[in-house]
Amino acid sequence: ERVSRCHSGMPTHENQGHIGLDDTAILSRMLGKLEITGDIASWSDSLTTRMTRWIDKFKAVRHLCVQDFYQLLPTPTTVEDWDAVQFVSYDQNESVIFVFSGNQGGRKVIPLHGLSADGIYTVSYGLDSQHREIRGQELLSQGLVVEMNRDQGSLCHVNQVY
């Protein structure tokens, strides 16, 4: 009997290491086993830099991926459906949210869970080093407003500062 295994690696083929490697591809792999194999030597300097930054971001949030989990939107049943999941530290001080727009882009309010209503959090998106401060109560009651193109992924990192 043949056994198939699900693999979340990002294979790269000889002299084609850049094909299919966009932000959404690496974000989706962060939810499982992040692995990059193959001809990464063929990557351009800019792709190497970008992937290095994403791997550093993954290292900064991966400890959350084994803590409290919330499915923020209904489980997708079609390619058009958005998906959003949240991982929150047990102490409610930190969270990471992954959002995927499916075949429909647009604007979506993503409800959040597990944060302290009394806390003040910094919120940053993707690889952007800029962040803004938001009260925990606002995040819990109003959620995050996300605007994305179709077939796009996004990561939001939330850290309590007070």
Rg (CA), the chain: 17
Q: What is the pLDDT of residues 120-153, one digit of tens each?
A: 999 999 888 789 999 999 999 999 999 999 999 9
Which pLDDT score, from 0 to 100, does residue 38 have? 74
- 83 token code pair: 């998906």
pLDDT at 65 over 80: yes
Which pLDDT score, from 0 to 100, does residue 72 have? 97
Q: What is the pLDDT of residues 29-59, one digit of tens each?
A: 888 778 877 778 888 898 889 889 999 999 9
The rounded mean pLDDT for the chain is 86
* Close Cβ partners of 59 (under 8 Å, ≥ 6 residues apart): none
Which pLDDT score, from 0 to 100, does residue 147 have? 93
Which pLDDT score, from 0 to 100, does residue 18 have? 54
Average pLDDT over residues 15-24: 65
Query: 5 — phi, psi (to 5°)?
Result: -120, 140
Average pLDDT over residues 4-14: 44
Q: How far apart are CA 88 and CA 105, in angstroms?
A: 26
Residue 4: pLDDT band by 50, 70, 90 thresholds? very low
Q: Whole-model pTM?
A: 0.85
